[in-house]
Structure 1
Amino acid sequence: MNAPANSNRKAELLANTVEHVAIDQYDARPIIDSMRKMSFTSRDTARAADIWSMSLEDGDCSTWLTLAGSTSAGGCMHIYRDMLKHGMIDVVVATGASIVDMDFFEALGFKHYQADSTVDDRELREMYIDRIYDTYIDEEELQNCDGTIYEICELLEPRPYSSREFIHEMGKWLAAGNAKKPDSLIEVAYREGVPIFCPAFVDSSAGFGLVKHQVERMKAGKPYLTIDAVADFRELTEIKLKAGATGLFMVGGGVPKNFAQDTVVCAEILGHEVDMHKYAVQITVADVRDGACSSSTLKEACSWGKVDVTWEQMVFAEATTVVPLIASDAFHRGAHKNRKKRRWADLFAK
């Protein structure tokens, strides 16, 4: 890696950190109550909040969070952490970037920064600053994150791991005193027994550390660990079989959305009869006309046998504008206080 030019200029651009909101800092109930009497996306948002609260009130329902996109970098990271901490979420299915490049990255003590929209991206490249729309991340720090994944690989037994199992080891490593920022999503999940699945785990900062681990081990003629994506699917389906009724809170779409929904079909293929996901909320800006998974409606998912349409709501909005409202509304209505924490990670304890 070449040293970036003009360190003073880089420091100037990386001056304003993104500050994460937390659901106990504000009470969104009055806003949601008002939106319920409005129209368009406001009323959709209120109905989504109502459905999510219903899923938390349902004592038989296991609630799952799916994450795609960059809302964790954009200020929602602590919302997701707090949802786990307060027993509002039993399972997380996410992109590798959400978990490694954003959450684990900040657990190592690094930050995301508000971007200056007037800067030329070629200048950013020269300074090793990566841009996520209007947010910056220091590439040098991100490569430190890559290297930390490599170090964790070197500590583990060389064998196949599901992403859930590997992320569990990351949480264990953080909890052992290595976290510079305590209470990351990964560390809270480790402590609370909430499994995190990243079905496309290597498509993230983790991938670079894993590749380095494999290449160096192969050169040395030594065994190396691998990520077993099939085990991810099997384990998540096992949870669906144990859980019975399930509710999905989906931020964005992509692989996490489809992976979580597909557990119903997988259970059927394995000879089990399970209910479709009973409650489902998705927040997305994807256009339904492109036929993609991210934009496919929850009613469409019903045709595939994945989601029941009785309690479902699509919210077509940029997620950082509505996730804080829905999550805070549910938190302050307090249905989670009567929920039993499922601790599905304990199913796989050895």
Structure 2
Amino acid sequence: MANTVVTDPSQINDTRKAELLAHEVKHIDIKSFDARPIIDQMAHMSFTSRDLARATSIYNMMLADKDCSIFLVIAGSTSAGGCMDLYAELLRNNMIDGIVATGASIVDMDFFEGLGHKHYQALEIPDDNELRSLYIDRIYDTYIDEQQLQDCDHTIYEIANTLEAKPYSSRAFIREMGKYLVEHGKKENSLVKLAYEHDVPIFCPAFVDSSAGFGLVKHQVDRAKEGKPYMVLDAIADFRELTDIKVKAGTTGLLMIGGGVPKNFIQDTVVCAEILGHDDVAMHKYALQITVADVRDGACSSSTLQEAASWGKVQTTHEQMVFAEAGSVMPLLASDAYHRGHWKERAKRAFGTMFG
């Protein structure tokens, strides 16, 4: 996420900055290897290995169930860490039908790279104040060029300036971002771009908690100074639209990386549908979650799927928690599912067409 400018960019030590940003993160290609033999053997192991094998089998069940619509739910920084092309392949091959994610995953990571920018391996981590003087932002052992991130902020601002001054759901605005990448993007394998092309809706229920927030605030402030109306994001529309999709979808499955707001948002559609009078709405039939969060503090990020059943959100017949760092296990799960090929028989939902 972009930060307040504290240094004159003209004073940056470009040589030192280039040294630190010399190693691009390379996103894993799930088609280049077949994880089925590994997952098959993990099923006969114990601990997290067996949990992962069962989670993978549940995802394959979702893909094989012709009535099941699948939602990819993303929190955390796996996109920046090397899983960006993995998620793109799931979408391209009709292995997911909708996405709920943090704004950072969609804007600061995927859209950011769609504009031609990169994430970098932090093979050396100096004092973070030195990084700040170089305009380098750090996500654990991954770097982002702050100046490139500010370009991302400005692009969001420019997109907002082209739109009619009215309320937009995050889905509607992200669709405009996808349209922008089709016309001006520099990366074919962008999740935002592919979602636009395949009519797969993306929701970010806390959208402004990302680089989008900076651009949208500037849009509103500048328009207000000019005495002109401005666009706004409608969080209630997010909830309504995603609930409409849940009602239409019927049988649903959740592939969740991390937790937090995206996890709770997709689960709450069941309760919302009931409140709207859809008494026959089904709980999410399938669910798996990959997380390292501790369950003992009662936080939403770590609440188990069994706990969600008490709220009427998730069935417990086909659910699995996997307590592991997602970047280390998602490539195995996704490669296994890709090579088993159940996606080849799935009907395309194109839920994005529901909203014109």
How many angstroms does 1:210 deviate by?
Answer: 0.1
- Distance between the aligned counterparts of 1:191 and 1:57, measured in 2? 24
- Distance between the aligned counterparts of 2:33 and 2:258, measured in 1? 24
| Moved >2 Å (runs of 4+) | none
CA deviation profile, 1:193-247 (whole Å, cap 9, x unmatched)? 1000000000000000000000000011000000100000000000000000000
Where do residues 130-279 of structure 1 align in structure 2 (5 Å cutoff)? 130-176=137-183, 178-273=184-279, 274-279=281-286
- Distance between the aligned counterparts of 2:29 and 2:241, measured in 1? 30
Task: Return the match for 2:110 from 96, 100, 103.
Answer: 103
3-state SS of the aligned residue for 2:69?
strand
Unaligned runs of 5+ in 2: none
Aligned length: 348
How many angstroms does 1:277 deviate by?
Answer: 0.2
Query: What amino acid does structure 1 have at the position aligned with 2:317?
Result: T
3-state SS of the aligned residue for 2:315?
strand
Give 2:301's aligned residue: 294
- Distance between the aligned counterparts of 2:55 and 2:246, measured in 1? 22
Give 1:330's aligned residue: 337
- Distance between the aligned counterparts of 1:190 and 1:61, measured in 2? 22
How many angstroms does 1:104 deviate by?
Answer: 0.3
Does residue 1:61 correspond to 2:72, yes or no? no
Identity of aligned residues (%): 69
TM-score after normalising by structure 1: 0.99
Give 2:20's aligned residue: 13
3-state SS of the aligned residue for 1:92?
strand
Does residue 1:284 correspond to 2:303, yes or no? no
How many angstroms does 1:117 deviate by?
Answer: 4.2
Query: What amino acid does structure 2 have at the position aligned with 1:282?
Result: Q
- Distance between the aligned counterparts of 2:53 and 2:238, measured in 1? 33
Task: Return the match for 1:30 from 20, 29, 37.
Answer: 37
Query: What amino acid does structure 1 have at the position aligned with 2:215?
Result: G
RMSD value over aligned CA atoms?
Answer: 0.7
Tell me if structure 1 keeps the 8 A contact 2:260–2:300.
Answer: yes
- Distance between the aligned counterparts of 1:117 and 1:282, measured in 2? 32
- Distance between the aligned counterparts of 2:140 and 2:189, measured in 1? 26
Tell me if structure 1 keeps the 8 A contact 2:20–2:124.
Answer: no
Cα 1:175–1:118 shift into 2, 3 Å: closer
TM-score after normalising by structure 2: 0.97
Query: What amino acid does structure 2 have at the position aligned with 1:129?
Result: I
How many angstroms does 1:116 deviate by?
Answer: 3.0
- Distance between the aligned counterparts of 1:234 and 1:290, measured in 2? 30
